Amino acid sequence: MPLFVDQMNRAVDIPDRPKRIISLVPSQTELLFDLGLADRVVGITKFCIYPADKMKHVTKVGGTKQLNMEVIYSLKPDLIIANKEENEQNQIEALMQHYPVWISDINDLDTALDMIEHVGQITATTEKAKQIASEIKSGFKTLKGLSATLSCVYLIWKNPYMAAGADTFIHDMLQSCGFNNLVKEGRYPVLTDDELKKLNPDVLLLSSEPYPFAEKHIQEFKKLLPNTRVNLVDGELFSWYGSRLLYSPAYFISLMKKITTK
């Protein structure tokens, strides 16, 4: 079997053309289907939702952090695609004892594009993967003119408030929009009401996932931060690092127009 190096710098023996693939990450599952691999994906997580018309027909192997190992064993995969952050290390290490496990480690657009092209290589869909990566690159080039220089805080959770910090993929997407992310320390630090007030961002972004922020939360934050523009945002387009990135640039442009014309 050929050796492929994953984004953890691990050499992984993978069959020439894997036929029984399990994906443990929603954004990477969508990528596999966009690469034309529907007939080879035998297992996905319960959080894998795209493409919607295909998901109900694929065996679910639990959540990203709570895998059903027995179901995975029963599927006899010849490739498992995982992610350093989204999956639990102990479970992934257990799976490594039995199957080829290719792990992504993504913190910016470049590593996302690298993942897309590598997944193309290991699944023998190189040209399609290069095409997707090229289209994403072209889309993000259209963002070069966005220089709003607005300060922001991006919340992913409530009770307690958790924000996306500088060492995250979301941070890189915020920079692509022209935002200055005020949360500099850590990956997803907890913020108190007082800390949010002290940061006093120009814009507060409330993500649709993993916590489902909604319209009802906007007034709550406007009371806390009366001088801040509060916006709900599509978390998938800020945090999914597979082929969904094809849709992010147009969304970011629309969002920035909305925010800067308020």
User: What confidence tens digit (pLDDT) does each residue in 171-213 have?
Assistant: 999 999 999 999 998 899 999 999 999 999 999 999 999 999 9
Domains of the chain: 3-138 (3.40.50.1980), 151-260 (3.40.50.1980)
pLDDT at 176: 93
SS3 124: coil
Q: Which of 261, 245, 248, 260 is nearest to 28 (CA)?
A: 245
At 22-63, the pLDDT tens digits run: 999 999 999 999 999 999 999 999 999 999 999 989 999 999
The per-residue pLDDT for 90 is: 96
213-240 b/e (C-beta count within 10 Å ≥ 16 → b): beeebeeebeeebeebbbbebbbbbbbb
